[in-house]
Structure 1
Amino acid sequence: MRRPPGHPGEPYFAAVADRLGAAYLRYNFTMGTAQEVAFLVDTLRLPEGARLLDVGCGPGRHAIPLAQAGLSVTGVDVSARFLDIAADAARNAGVGAAFFEVDARQMPFDDEFDAVISLCQGAFGLMGRDDSLVLKRMAEAVVPGGRVVVTAFNALYEARHPRAGATLDADAGLVHELAEITTEAGTSEQVDLWTGVYTARELRLLALGVGLIPEELWAVEPGGYARRAPDLEHPELMLLARRPSGRS
């Protein structure tokens, strides 16, 4: 079998996101946002006004309801179009969430947030070998004692349930897919997508490698976040990790 094309080594998804625009919010995997946000609020138990950073926030589908829940939310993304949609949604909702165009690998934050999240392959999972750098920047952004949450595609699920048109590169830990998207203008286009896949053990080791302490690791799916042990039957994993309080 021919090996799939390698990750381009840059935030390729910015161009895809700019083409998707508001059409992104019509995809089925976004329909469970309310459940996902409720799970995060219950899991993190942050006080009102706590500072939360959403890395790869997209059009703000988690950031806006988290702000409505009383958190002080900052979102970063590489897509200018997504950020425009998020800012408009925040204004319409009457919340003060702030949004910035930033490559997750170059985030300038240091000890600034009580919690940092990256969900649904918004940033972590899209950067190929630089996923570890994204996690490192997230670990730097959270305060000592704060928590980091990431979701990632489950490598064992991908191997067990191969999708038509998708190819798993077992060496690189990447799934390549030539996908058809519907753009904001209503046209259909084919785009290359590369997404990192991970085992539970790999996520724990990545967290430890950037100075985080893994606390929980769960098997999840869009609209079905729950505290279940990692398995082969759910497409994503969620890592909950903490920055040590004593870290300088």
Structure 2
Amino acid sequence: MHWYEDDDLWVGFADVMFPPSRAEEAERLTATSPLFEFADGAKVLDLACGPAIHVVPLARKGADVTGVDLSPAMLERAREACESAGVAAKLIQADMLEYVEPGAYDLIVNMYTSFGYFTEPGDNLTVLRNAYSSLAPGGRLLIDVLGKEVLAGWVGRPKAVDIDGGTVFMRDTILDDWTRLETEWTLVRDGAAKQASILSFLYSAAELKALFETVGFTGVECFGDFDGSPYDNHARRLIVRGERAG
């Protein structure tokens, strides 16, 4: 089983991955970021949607939202979040390697470094091809990851994050000549320790932009934050956006 197929990981470390502050940030960014602009009623796909962190504010903003995720546990949390917020969204259990809805969406978003999960580089390219095929002409794909250039500024320093009733210790390791990142988490809570290891591909801005263009995206742009600022030495994230030609 690949790490991302393990529901115990998503449930056991949900407090780390999806704290309340992340939902608050998603609400703010969805409302204010120029990268989240869309027409009322636009069809929006949140690919690897998790517990609906962005699905809920996207629906509140007037989008016709679909959330796709592989994890049954995360989709159940997404349903609960949508019901609690009083918003409607279609939620689908599917593998991003296989999910395609030809021409169905005006905007596809993939948030919080949910791209690069697959061991074979060609599989990650398949995810981009699937997204391209699923966009209507003129539709856009927005991918948010930690770029190599950003990561290089702080990677390698162990971190400890306090969560409800416990602490998570995190350690990052660069592998294979800066092409992969292994993140090891140890959750200590109630006198017990739980461990998880996450392995993903790393991309620079130039590398991810080139993948977009290989698939056929046009007007590909790189941003350093959701305010649309440039990807430079002040960048907090690597956000890449491309458009399907009309």
**What's the TM-score bracket when you normalise by the shorter of the two chains?**
0.7 to 0.9
Secondary structure at 1:135's aligned position in 2?
helix
| CA displacement 1:162-214 (0-9 Å, x = unmatched) | 2332111253611102112479x996421001132211111110001111114
Aligned equivalent of 1:127: 118
**C-alpha spacing 1:27/1:94, structure 2 compared with 1 (3 Å):** closer
Mean Cα deviation higher: 189-198 or 11-20: 11-20
Q: 2:84 aligns with which of 92, 95, 108?
A: 92
1:144 aligns with 2:137: yes
TM-score under structure 2 length normalisation: 0.83
Q: Which residue number corresponds to residue 38 of structure 1?
A: 31
Aligned mates of 1:229, 1:186 — CA distance in 2: 45
User: Which residue number in structure 1 is paired with residue 162 of structure 2?
Assistant: none
**C-alpha distance in 1, partners of 2:198/2:207?**
22
Match of residue 109 from structure 2 = 117
| 1:1-248 correspondence to structure 2 within 5 Å | 11-12=4-5, 14-21=7-14, 24-26=17-19, 29=22, 31-40=24-33, 42-122=34-114, 124-128=115-119, 129=121, 130-164=123-157, 165-171=171-177, 173-181=179-187, 188-220=193-225, 225-245=226-246
Among all aligned residue pairs of Structure 1 and Structure 2, give the percentage whose two residues are the same amino acid.
23
**Residues 10-30 of structure 1, C-alpha deviations (whole Å, 9 max, x = no match):** 744644213334664327555
Q: Deviations over 1:106-150 (max 9, x none)?
A: 10311101111101023x132242222211111111111111100
Judged with a 3 Å threshold, the aligned counterparts in structure 2 of structure 1 residues 193 and 46 are, in CA distance, closer, same or farther, namely same
* CA RMSD of superposed structures (Å): 2.5
CA–CA distance in 1 between the matches of 2:216 and 2:88?
31
Change (3 A) 1:232 1:187: farther
Q: Say whether the 8 Å CA contact 1:180–1:188 is kept in structure 2.
A: yes
Give yes or no for contact 1:154–1:234 (8 Å, CA) kept in 2.
Answer: no
Q: Which moved more, 1:164-173 or 1:92-101?
A: 164-173
Structure 1 residues 43 and 235, CA, compared in 2 at 3 Å: closer, same or farther? Answer: closer
2: CA distance, partners of 1:118 / 1:182: 30
User: What runs of 5+ residues in structure 2 fail to find an aligned partner?
Assistant: 158-170
Q: Equivalents in 1 of 2:205, 2:182: separation in Å? A: 21
Q: Offset of 1:228 from its aligned partner?
A: 1.7
C-alpha separation in 2, matches of 1:126 and 1:228:
26
User: Larger RCO: Structure 1 or Structure 2 (Cα < 8 Å, ≥ 6 residues apart)?
Assistant: 1
- The residue type equivalent to 1:99 in the other structure is L
> Contact 2:138 / 2:244 at 8 angstroms: preserved in 1?
yes
Give CA-to-partner distance per residue, 1:52-85, whole Å, 9 cap, x none.
0000000001011100111000000111111001
The number of residues matched between the two structures is 231
TM-score (norm 1): 0.83
Unaligned runs of 5+ in 1: 1-7
Write the distance in 1 (CA, Å) between the matches of 2:64 and 2:44. Answer: 6
139 and 118 in structure 1: CA distance in 2 versus 1, 3 angstrom threshold: same
User: How much does 1:232 deviate?
Assistant: 3.7
